[in-house]
């Protein structure tokens, strides 16, 4: 029976070598555009495969792309071509690597900007906390294995990913424990046991890991006293009462055919939550309309005053295996399908009896949204083994997020979605 993407704890016995506000300056947008498009496009591809539309879903396309982009840097031949197509990469490798590096720098600058603004607000008596965001990449490679120096250098320079030697051959359980502890530390303990027991063994040669952690307070917090049970209408026709926050605030708002676009800023305004609220077609119809360019357009929805009703929710799906989904999208030879086709010559020399292929892509996520803001985390492991215009004041609108919707945590200047998911049941 083939591997299926599911929200369940999974163990894999054999793996291949592991791998794995305001308008921003135009040059910054152009520099990050390639990465943002790839992140959003792959996120949509995977969201449409994350279970049925009546089931909660969550992934971090940013984390997945970081891990796979590192693996892609070592691919050659048909393996490279297939990965580029599935991951929505351009032919120009320098453009790709430079764009991911630029996006990382943009997120670093967002963090510094938020810290400066929070400090200034404290001087005026306000208590807003700054946005916290941490992105970390790491290569865990077999001790003594002959990794090519150019590959190691590219990942160090463009992804700040250092190579840390581990002995999978003699102590795979110890290596698993070490990698999982690193992920837990990078995600403030929100992502645990990313790599299951038994997933790494004496054939493992490389594990490429990305971890992201985000804690973002609202630009304007919701009053807890205004949170009350309100009806949430589910896709099956039933209604349930869920804790629903209420506030009068300015938010990005746009009406499209069949759905509404809402954006709510976090402190500093460079990061926001994007909510796509369907009218009558439901989430299934809405997801069919999603494109990377649409998500990018949503980043700059016009501001409008509104009364907002937004349910609190927390999603913490168990471990996901992405290999079957990526193979289904056309990335087959990277997983050595058919046997002997994997080509990661840029990582290490390809020998008939000793070559690398991706064995599995592990992905785990967490998000919690309440009156104070949003906390989210994700980690991805790619394992490889051998073998300003003045307008008339608009009328105050009322927006009720009271039925299933799609959401994203979005970096506003680039449009890149750090997290993407659907809420079918907020309980």
DSSP of 199-241, one letter per residue?
SS-TTEEEEEEEEEEEEEEBSSPPPGGG-EEEEEE-TTS-EEE
| Contact by Cβ (8 Å): 131, 110 | yes
pLDDT at 396 (0 to 100) = 79
Classify residue 410 by its DSSP letter: E
pLDDT for the residue 15 = 32
pLDDT tens-digit map of 216-256? 999 888 999 999 999 999 888 899 999 999 999 989 999 99
Per-residue pLDDT band for 22 (boundaries 50, 70, 90) equals very low
- Whether the predicted pLDDT of 121 surpasses 80: no
The conformation of residue 357, written as its DSSP 8-state character, comes to E
Tell me what the mean pLDDT of segment 41-56 comes to: 90
Neighbours of 278 (CB within 10 A): 20
Nearest to 162 by CA among 183, 199, 136, 130: 136
Return all residues near 69 (Cβ < 8 A) that are at least 6 apart: 87, 89, 96, 97, 100, 159
**Would the pLDDT of 67 be above 70?**
yes
Domains contained in the chain, CATH given: 26-217+315-386 (3.30.497.10), 224-313+389-423 (2.30.39.10)
**Cα 45 to Cα 144, 288, 295, 328, distances in angstroms:** 38, 10, 13, 11
DSSP string, 291-330: -HHHHHHHTTPPEEEEEEEEE-EEE----EE-HHHHHHTT
Taking each helix axis from N to C end, the angle separating 93-123 and 149-159, rounded to the nearest 10 degrees, works out to 30
So what's the pLDDT on residue 391? 44
Beta strands in 370-404 (DSSP E): 373-386, 397-400
Q: Stretch 132-141: mean pLDDT, rounded?
A: 94
Alpha helix segments (H runs only) across 73-189: 77-87, 93-123, 149-159, 168-186
Q: Which residues pair with 157 in a beta bridge?
A: none
Strand-pairing partners, residue 243, are: 229
Give the predicted TM-score (pTM) of the model.
0.89
pLDDT, position 127? 63
| Confidence (pLDDT) at 312 | 96
Do the beta carbons of residue 252 and residue 303 sit within 8 Å?
yes
Cβ-based neighbours of 206, under 8 Å, separated by 6 or more: 17, 18, 19, 20, 139, 140, 141, 142, 145, 147, 347, 356, 383, 384
Task: Supply the mean pLDDT for the chain.
Answer: 87
């Amino acid at each position: 029976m083939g591997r299926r993407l599911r929200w369940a704890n999974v163990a894999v016995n054999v793996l291949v070598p592991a791998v794995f506000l305001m308008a921003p300056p135009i040059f910054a947008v152009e520099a990050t555009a390639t990465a943002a498009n790839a992140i959003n496009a792959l996120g949509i591809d995977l969201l449409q495969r994350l279970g049925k539309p009546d089931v909660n879903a969550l992934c971090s396309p940013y984390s997945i792309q970081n891990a796979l982009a590192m693996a892609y840097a070592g691919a050659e031949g048909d393996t490279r071509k297939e990965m580029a197509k599935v991951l929505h990469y351009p032919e120009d490798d320098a453009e790709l690597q430079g764009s991911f590096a630029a996006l990382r720098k943009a997120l670093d600058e967002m963090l510094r900007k938020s810290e400066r603004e929070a400090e200034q607000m404290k001087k005026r008596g306000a208590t807003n906390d700054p946005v916290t965001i941490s992105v970390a990449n790491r290569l865990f490679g077999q001790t003594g294995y002959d990794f090519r120096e150019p590959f190691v250098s590219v990942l160090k320079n463009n992804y700040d990913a250092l190579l840390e030697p581990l002995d999978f051959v003699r102590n795979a359980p110890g290596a698993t424990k070490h990698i999982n502890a690193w992920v837990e530390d990078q995600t403030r303990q929100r992502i645990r046991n990313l790599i299951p027991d038994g997933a790494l063994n004496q054939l493992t040669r490389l594990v490429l890991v990305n971890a992201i952690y985000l804690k973002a307070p609202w630009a304007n917090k919701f009053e807890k006293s205004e949170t009350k049970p309100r009806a949430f209408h589910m896709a099956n026709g039933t209604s349930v009462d869920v804790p629903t926050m209420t506030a009068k605030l300015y938010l990005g708002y746009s009406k499209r055919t069949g759905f509404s676009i809402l954006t709510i800023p976090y402190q500093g305004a460079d990061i926001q939550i994007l909510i796509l609220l369907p009218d009558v077609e439901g989430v299934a119809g809405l997801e069919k309309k999603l494109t990377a360019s649409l998500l990018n357009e949503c980043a700059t929805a016009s501001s409008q005053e509104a009364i907002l009703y937004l349910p609190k929710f927390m999603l913490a799906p168990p471990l996901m295996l992405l290999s079957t989904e990526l193979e289904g999208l056309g990335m087959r030879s990277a997983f050595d399908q058919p046997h002997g086709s994997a080509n990661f010559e840029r990582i290490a020399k390809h020998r008939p009896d000793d070559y690398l292929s991706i064995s599995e892509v592990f992905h785990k996520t967490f998000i919690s949204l309440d009156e104070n803001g949003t906390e989210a985390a994700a980690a991805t492991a790619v394992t490889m083994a051998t073998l300003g215009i003045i307008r008339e004041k608009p009328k105050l609108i009322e927006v009720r997020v009271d039925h299933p919707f799609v959401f994203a945590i979005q970096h506003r200047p680039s449009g890149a979605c750090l997290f993407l998911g659907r809420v079918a049941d907020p309980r």
